[in-house]
Amino acid sequence: LNHPFGEQRKTLQILGSCNGLLALVDDKDGIFLWNPSTRKSQVLPFNEIGFSSPSSTYYGFGYDPISDDYKLIRMVQSHGNNDEYFHSEAKVYSLRSNCWRRIKDVCFYHKFSREFGFLANNALHWMVFKTPQSRNKELVGFDLGSEEFRFLELPECRLDKVLWFHINAVGGDICLTSTYRETDNVVVDVWIMKEYGVKQSWFKLISWKEPHFIPSSTVALPLALSKDGGEVLFFIEYKWFNWGRRVDSFVWYHLRSQEVENVVIGDIPTSFEVNWYVDSLVPL
């Protein structure tokens, strides 16, 4: 797609996708909303951060059906060495009012420079830390209607022992994927939260043992369920290296037979990122 934002020194980053609208940030940290179907776009008003040298910025973009409004949240934090100081602010942009406003400061910590939240159950979600000393990540959700944060409990799985884990939305539900070694095997477990916010509703959809084509340097990320719910679409990404012969790809995992079917897509690059997009006529 040809975007209307001019030549960029680096690739535009997608902050979020919702109902055919993309939230994008350019190489100068300018933020835009864009509907590729209608070719319409909107530049978000500049909003200065209340302190210098932020160390992390977390974004999320979604739709609030209660107010019939599209909202983008930006959370910024700055940490001093040995926790000598800590600054934090959270702001929400409303498409309906076309302005930013500050909300209550967050009760958690970021440890990565930039993260993008995912949308599920009318809330945006990120993995964060409850204290600066924490080693274990926690799942936090931001309700787009009430604009309140809440922590959600994860399933009983040993995240401290995994090679890699990821959390996203699949079929409208929160999905956690953990990849770990079990003796000499590599295992990919996929967990689904069927009732939002209820820890007991987590269930293990897949335990994919010894996926023969997945060495320890790759990531298997579930993206979607088939229409009948019998297959799961996975994105197979070579996370840490790519020697030219290895190409990011897609596969269908059949739940009943536990068989894997390659998805052939011609003329795709060796390495790429995946984001959801659905055509719409949502105006900007």
Among 5-19, 47-61, 72-86, 183-197, the range of highest mean pLDDT: 183-197
Is the pLDDT higher at 87 or at 140?
140
Beta bridge partners of 203: 192
pLDDT in tens, 25-36: 887 788 999 999
In angstroms, what CA-CA distances link 127 with 111, 139, 142, 176?
A: 10, 5, 12, 11
The radius of gyration of the chain's CA atoms, rounded to the nearest angstrom, is 20
pTM for the predicted model, two decimal places: 0.87
Is it the case that residue 206 has pLDDT exceeding 80? yes
Task: Tell me: pLDDT of 136 over 60.
Answer: yes
Site of tokens 């929160």: 174
Mean pLDDT (the chain, rounded) = 84
Question: Per-domain residue ranges for the chain?
Answer: 1-152, 157-284
Q: Is the pLDDT of residue 113 over 70?
A: no
Is pLDDT at 10 greater than 70 in this prediction? no
Q: Is the pLDDT of residue 51 over 80?
A: no
The predicted model gives 186-212 an average pLDDT of 88
The model's confidence at residue 137, banded by pLDDT at 50, 70 and 90, is confident
Q: Which of 64-68, 147-151, 253-257, 273-277 has the lowest mean pLDDT?
A: 273-277
> What per-residue confidence (pLDDT) applies to 87?
80
Task: Tell me what pLDDT residue 238 has.
Answer: 65
Contact 20, 280 (CB under 8 A): yes
- Evaluate if residue 192 carries a pLDDT over 70: yes
Q: Residue 212 above 60 pLDDT?
A: no
Structure tokens at 6: 């001019």
Amino acid at 192: I
Residue 98: CB atoms within 10 A of its CB come to: 10
pLDDT at 196: 96
Please state the three-class secondary structure of the chain as a single string: CCCCCCCCCCCCEEEEEECCEEEEECCCCCEEEEECCCCEEEECCCCCCCCCCCCEEEEEEEEECCCCEEEEEEEEEEECHHHCCEEEEEEEEECCCCEEEEECCCCCECCCCEEECEEECCEEEEEEECCCCCCCCEEEEEECCCCCEEEECCCCCCHHHCCEEEEEEECCEEEEEEEEEECCEEEEEEEEECCCCCHHHEEEEEEEECCCCCCCCEEEEEEEECCCCCEEEEEEEECCCCCCCCCCEEEEEECCCCCEEEECCCCCCCCCCCCCCCCCCCCC
pLDDT bucket at 183, cuts 50 / 70 / 90? confident
Q: Looking at residue 170, what is its pLDDT?
A: 93
Name which residue leads in pLDDT, 226 or 249.
226
Q: Residue 12: what pLDDT?
A: 79
Is the predicted pLDDT of residue 243 greater than 50, yes or no? no
pLDDT at 182: 77
Higher-scoring residue by pLDDT: 92, 244:
92
- In this prediction, residue 242 has a pLDDT band, given cuts at 50, 70 and 90, of very low
The reported pLDDT for the residue numbered 148 is 94
What average pLDDT does this structure show over 219-225?
Answer: 87
The answer to whether residues 197 and 188 touch, using CB atoms and an 8 Å cutoff, is no
Q: Which of 171, 196, 83 is nearest to 129 (CA)?
A: 83
Whether 234 has a pLDDT exceeding 70, the answer reads: yes
The Cα-based distances of 29 to 45, 112, 114, 183, 264 in angstroms read 12, 17, 12, 45, 36
